[in-house]
Amino acid sequence: MVTPPTAQQWEQHRSVIVDLYSRRPLKAVRAHMRETYGFLATDRMFKGRFKTWGVEKNRRHRRDAGDGGPDSREQSPAGPSQQAPLPNDLDIPSHDSIIPRRLPPDPARAITPPEESPITNDAASEYSETLSPRPQPWPLTPATTTCQEISSMEQICYRLEDRVEETLGSISLVGFYLILLLNARKAKSIHKTDNKIRRKSLEITRHVTLHHEDQPKVVLDFHRYVIAYLSIVAPGEKDVLDMAEVFYKRAQEYFDLNEHVEGSHARLYYGSSCAYLADCRYVRNNTEDRHQARSLLFQSIWCYANAPWANRANAERQMKKLREWCEEANDTERLGMLRGIEDMMEEEARQRGGPLIPRAAAT
């Protein structure tokens, strides 16, 4: 028998529940609350709470026939729920008919990965202090609690998700990038993963790998986005570790072949793969995996520091993480190597758009 949630629990999740119920059937609301928040309640409990809150049953409204407009049933475009599910490999049309051949974009101009990636293309962040407006003497919006902020962010993410799928389609790679970005934000704030997004990540990655095999940068770039998301929400899962291993091996092969090819972004892919695999290894919490994680993260930092358009703030975040890992394991040897990288960074002598270690990159 399901134990009824307390009044405090109902009020804590009220804004999320009401927003979901305004757009989705009760069954979907109940399933989402159970999987995402561990919030267990029966349909009868939900209906009783809606009555208490004065929330009416979810209905779809049609335009009034008296306004002279066409019947909405004939003119309304199909919503996200009416789109066809992701097809199997056997009935997928050629990739030219799904998205333009130039998608996803070149990594140098790509959308920023879901979380603070070890390698990003954000050269403008160095000038943020001079370009940002002066702080206001009072807050622009009323102060809110953490729960209110999380609920508001989740509502925004859900609305954007619906529009992304409706506009770009369920198998658009660009649309899926945006969905990963939005769900990474939610996962970071509530520390929960959406199983539907995770399953779709694995499915669409297999599709991209199969149908874009002749475009290694497309495959690598897509893997980079998916692993960036999965390493946040489920780094310890076996299938996520396996995918991170595959991305690492592909990136390593690509780096060996294209390290000196201009515009290949081989360092970006290889450095990213090292960092994401390091996160997946580290959470396994055994001596061998954590030793490999420290080695991989050091390699990622070195690779990033020698890459064009490296960002000092991102490098320092990764170095701080590695320093904590090394101090926890008393890894004095790698701590000394890390201090060597810090000493070699010559921010003052660095040219705009150049690497953080000009001398090492020039050799």
Q: What is the mean pLDDT of each run of 10 residues along the chain (363 residues)?
A: 84 87 86 84 89 74 45 44 42 41 42 46 42 38 46 57 53 60 59 67 77 82 82 82 90 89 84 92 90 92 76 83 93 89 66 58 46
Do 347 and 312 meet the contact criterion of CB atoms below 8 Å apart? yes
What's residue 362's pLDDT?
Answer: 46
Cα 103 from chain centroid (whole Å): 18
Give the C-alpha separation, 207 to 347, whole Å.
Answer: 42
DSSP state letters, 314-348? HHHHHHHHHHHHHHHHT-HHHHHHHHHHHHH--TT
Helix residue ranges per DSSP H, 84-194 = 128-131, 146-168, 173-190
DSSP state letters, 131-160? HSPPPPSS-SS----HHHHHHHHHHHHHHH
Tens-digit pLDDT profile for residues 82-122:
444 444 443 434 444 434 444 444 444 444 455 444 444 44
Give the C-alpha separation, 198 to 120, whole Å.
Answer: 23
The answer to pTM > 0.85 is: no
Which residue do the tokens 């290889």 mark? 270
Give the C-alpha separation, 134 to 107, whole Å.
Answer: 32
What's residue 163's pLDDT?
Answer: 57
